[in-house]
Chains A and B, each alone.
Chain A
Amino acid sequence: MLTRAECRAVVDRIVELSSADEVRVSLRDERTTHLRFARNTPSTSGNVRSHTVSVTSVVGTRSGTASVNQLDDGSLRRAVRRSEEIAGLAPPDPEFVEGLGPQDYQRVEAWSNTTARNAPEHIAAGSELAIRDAREAGLVAAGFSRSDARVECLGSSTGLFGYHRSTTAAFTETVRTTDGTGSGWANDASNDVSELDYVGRSGIAIDKGRRSAKPRELPPGEYPAILEPACVASMVGLLLGAMDRRGADEGRSYFGTSDGTRLGEELFPRTVTIASDPASSLAPVRPWASDGLPRRRVGWIVDGTVGALATSRYWARTAGVEPVAGSSNVLMKGGAGSLESLVRSTERGLLVTSLWYIRSVDPRSLSYTGLTRDGVFWIENGEIAYPVNNFRWNDSPVRVLKNVEAMSRAVRVAGRGSRGTSSVVPALRVSGFEFSSVSEAV
């Protein structure tokens, strides 16, 4: 992978080649290893190295960006020349903001030598165990595991420089019954591939696959529900995605009101606290936003109250406020107990493993629709009583968080596709969630 000195040399070379008023460089070096399996056998696998150099040239208030994926001098020259051509042809930008000078980025520990050097062996061995366990249980496994080693660098002619290296590893698995009536899913994520619990998580998927078989019919309606962490990661991600100051000020966001924004409004119970912190050891991420703005700890929802809205540098200047880099990772404060103890404390309701195909229905109310997937169970007197059919749901993350009654401790989640490994969230028990129609999908 590219070292700090090598990245610095690329930035310096681009600055040297530039004749623009200002030049900004974003550099990425990635190595990805992945293995996919289905029907209890490997399907595809790969090992890919890739680079991206993105050059933004600024002439007056005009700017243009050109990217190449080669690091040779000819490619760098081409990127600089093309970005300058674009900047020369682009109209002046009334929202232009001059580049940042040197910044003090937090040091973030997100690198694992094990992941960088030995991921293929760990992924193959872990996946082999997962397949073996499903096969021996008489079930059918499909799964995916990937690791990424990544170097990211930011630089500019105004003295900005950042270097960050990270590794991530993730595993997701779906285990289905051979009669097609049951399906379970589990996931795991870490920066260190050797910490992925292939056997343990596979055991959860196997258990859910078995227990979800031959589900009973349950009519649609609003039910109390426990949303497992994967569901909560989806919901909270949607909420944070809408927490933008400009959209709110312009009146085209749930966070805009007829006379301002919802900043400072107590929207949720006081138990709800959602933050971002790039340096969190729970899910460390790059310490700068795409425009170079340093990411710091931000409390988006603090004790139930809207604490911050992401604010670009341009909008901060316009609105006379401080810029706030958007959410980098999702750290939702959880409770003390496990998911199992949350189930034990639940009189009746549904336990939902994961949500799927979530799409916006009404941005005014932040309403979404989607499906439940890979395990929905009816809870009766603190125990999982029986599996039920999947549902389409129509609801809003706002209403979900308003309805929070209890939560488990927070855990790190890998989303489907093993992407999105930066959410650390609890399972939530909510007093009501709108399941709008039955889905017979398994």
Chain B
Amino acid sequence: MRRRDFLQATAASSIFALGGCSTALRRPSWGIIGNEPDFTLADLAAVAIDEARSAGASYADCRIADYRRQRIFAREERVSSINDSEDRGFGVRVLVDGTWGFAASPTVERDEIARVARRAVSIARANARLQREPVELAPVDAVVGVWSTPIRSDPFEVSLAEKVETMIGINTAALAHEGISFCSSSMDFVREHKLLATTEGTCVEQTLHRCNPSFQVTSVDRERGSFETRNSFASPQGTGYEYVEDYPWLDDVERAAEDVLEKHRAPSVEPGQYDLILHPSHLWLTIHESIGHPTEYDRALGMEANYAGTSFLTPDKLGSFRLASDIVSFGAEKTHKGALATCAWDDDGVPTTEWDLVRDGMFVDYQITRDQAPLLGRPASYGCSYAQSWRDVPFQRMPNINLEPGKQRLSFADLVSDTEEAILIFGRGSYSIDHQRYNFQFGGQTYYRVQNGRVVGMLKDVAYQARTPDFWNACDRICDETEYWVGGSFYDGKGEPGQSNGVSHGCSPARFRKINVLNTGREV
């Protein structure tokens, strides 16, 4: 099979058909399962609300949450670890004299809830004397409801034996290839259940599911003192176990084994300027880092200056800055089925929605929460508040952010055929970007050379380095919606204390002109 045929087959194969699709519903009405939150939890949350209000809070909310997590790790033909955890508690957040206070405890009992609520008020009051910018919350209608991620198969009901069989099957399939030295596989599952009640009358209960299955194949070349790896192209999802059941593990691992062996023989890339064709299995992370993070309004304000950083997308650029070529538009949402950040209400109790961040290449909006909307002059929050657990303070976290597919009909195969000279990149690799999101460097899992419309062979030691606006302005082709694929991050970190957030990014393959490529291989 010619390399081009092989890659065309790959693009159409079930490996890349499973990342998701563009047919997601536009509102998460499909997950609403009632309008009567758990009475016992609501009653307990009311203790915090009442106590905080009587202690002087102008606003208070209480999240009572429990988390179930399972992580299984298998290496070669053995299961290295199986960890199953439950984590339950509550957090009370209050506003006193325009200053936030927060306290949390694992003991979900009336007396403790009242004590913690008073503690949150006392913290807010102590810090209020330092306050120079009193917090103002954008209005939101009170809402009562119950929502759950629609799942076909609850991962916590699926037997361990079934999961272990899948993982050992993956590892064994890889090891059957001569030259494959190691294979490890893992599965992570999370069920997040929480009830949020506020002084404004909101009371919402949600159950969110996320999963993150993966594997890594390694080949050691002892003679050269070298080794190569290739990770799975599976991606974390906001679904139940059905993603694991439907994913073509054996196709992916067979390909991975072939890829990793070919990497040993592949020529090392010559550094220089190249056109790049980025497959969505790779491009989602570039979107996350270079578009997702700089459009966070807290970064633009300087709220993350001591940790995650600020943003080159300062408010004066809103509506007037060309961030990308005119074929590029990015939308934000927390409403697409199967995406990691999807829910019905955020942790401020704001209904989730969708909106534009970049339209026809122009930077048009940010991600905001209730306490940010007034600072930006917006009438309402977009529902971007999230806390990773009951013990953490909710703050602005990234929604799902997607690159709109090209409007002209263009398949992945056509894009390759239409390209004279380029490097084609698949998969998530090394990634690093500066604290204002200008300068980035990305690697992938596999790299191919494209010449005269054909994929002519594998390369290795590839990374590209660019400046965000230059990179997105160099985008000249985006495949159509038939090639749309959703990747995502299970652990997107931000904040102090650090918190992680799950977030998805959908896109179709795209081409970028004249990007600086480095050779990452070196001797030390």
Contacts and interface: CB of A to CB of B under 8 A. Distances in A.
Interface of A: 32, 34-52, 54, 63-70, 78, 82-83, 86, 89-91, 93-95, 120, 124, 127-128, 131, 140, 142-144, 146, 172-174, 176, 180, 183, 185, 250-252, 254, 256-258, 356-367, 369-371, 373, 390, 392, 394, 396, 398-399, 402, 416-419, 436-442
Among all A-B residue pairs, the 8 with the closest Cβ atoms: A441-B436, A67-B85, A142-B305, A439-B439, A441-B434, A144-B496, A142-B306, A251-B220
A361 B430 contact: yes
15 contacts: A45-B127, A49-B105, A89-B159, A90-B79, A143-B306, A185-B306, A356-B435, A359-B430, A359-B431, A367-B520, A371-B433, A371-B439, A373-B434, A392-B439, A396-B524
Given A86-B84, A127-B130, A417-B307, A120 B123 contact: yes
B307 A69 contact: no
Interface in B194-219: 218
Given A34-B497, A41-B133, A52-B87, 19 more contacts: A34-B496, A42-B99, A45-B100, A45-B101, A51-B106, A66-B83, A68-B85, A90-B164, A95-B80, A257-B225, A356-B309, A359-B430, A362-B520, A365-B521, A370-B432, A392-B439, A392-B441, A394-B518, A394-B520
Contacts of B225: 251, 256-258
A89 B165 CA distance: 11
A21 to B, nearest CB: 16
Interface string B150-180: 0000000001110010001000000000000
Contacts of B85: 54, 66-68
Given A64-B84, A360-B430, A144 B307 contact: yes
Nearest to B69: A67
Nearest to B436: A441
Contacts of A90: 79, 82, 160, 164
B421 to A, nearest CB: 23
A358 B130 CA distance: 34
B141 interface: no
Nearest to A356: B435
Given A41-B133, A69-B106, A142-B306, A91 B430 contact: no
B501 interface: no
A402 B291 CA distance: 38
A404 to B, nearest CB: 14
Contacts of B336: none
B395 A44 contact: yes
A362 B522 contact: yes
Interface residues of B, number: 89
A42 B88 CA distance: 28
B104 interface: yes
A226 to B, nearest CB: 21
Contacts of A364: 226-227, 521
A438 to B, nearest CB: 7
A429 to B, nearest CB: 19
Nearest to B163: A89
Contacts of B17: none
B430 A142 contact: no
A416 B132 CA distance: 25
Chain B CB count within 10 A is highest, among A173, A254, A417, for: A417
A68 B168 CA distance: 28
B282 interface: no
A95 B391 contact: no
A46 to B, nearest CB: 4
Given A34-B496, A362-B461, A89 B99 contact: no
A94 B223 CA distance: 28
A369 B441 CA distance: 8
B81 A65 contact: yes
Contacts of B314: 180
Given A94-B78, A370-B432, A38 B84 contact: no
Interface string B447-468: 0000000000000010101010
A370 B430 CA distance: 11
Contacts of B224: 258
A390 to B, nearest CB: 7
Contacts of A89: 159-161, 164
B102 A45 contact: yes
Chain A CB count within 10 A is highest, among B104, B120, B307, for: B307
B291 to A, nearest CB: 16
Contacts of A128: 130
Contacts of A437: 439, 465, 516
A48 B103 contact: yes
A42 B130 contact: yes
Contacts of A365: 521-524
Contacts of B133: 39, 41
A14 to B, nearest CB: 15
B131 A173 contact: no
Contact of A47 (B86, B123, B160, B463): B123
Interface string B494-513: 00111000000000000000
Contacts of A50: 89, 104, 106, 391
Contacts of B226: 364
B33 interface: no
Nearest to A79: B86
B222 A258 contact: yes
Given A67-B86, A86-B84, A172-B306, A41 B131 contact: yes
B305 A174 contact: yes
Contacts of B123: 45-47, 120
Interface string B314-346: 100000000000000000000000000000000
Contacts of B104: 46-50
A392 B465 contact: yes
Contact of A371 (B161, B391, B434, B467): B434
Contacts of B81: 65
Contacts of B359: none
A173 B305 CA distance: 9
B438 interface: yes
Contacts of B432: 357-359, 369-371, 392
A83 B78 CA distance: 18
Contacts of A361: 430, 441, 443, 463, 520
Contacts of B518: 394, 436
Chain A CB count within 10 A is highest, among B82, B107, B124, for: B82
Contacts of A48: 91, 103-105, 391
Contacts of B102: 44-47
Nearest to A94: B78
A114 B431 CA distance: 41
B9 interface: no
A48 B120 CA distance: 10
A264 B158 CA distance: 49
Contact of A44 (B100, B161, B439): B100
A198 B390 CA distance: 30
Contacts of A359: 430-432
A65 B83 CA distance: 5
B302 interface: yes
A174 to B, nearest CB: 4
B419 to A, nearest CB: 26
Contacts of B182: 250, 252
Contacts of A396: 522, 524
B443 A398 contact: no
A357 B130 contact: no
B119 interface: yes
Contact of A66 (B84, B130, B467): B84
Contacts of A390: 434
Chain A CB count within 10 A is highest, among B85, B105, B301, for: B85
Given A51-B106, A392-B434, A419-B498, A440 B524 contact: no
A256 B223 CA distance: 12
Contacts of B14: none
Contacts of B274: none
A113 to B, nearest CB: 20
Contact of A64 (B82, B222, B306): B82
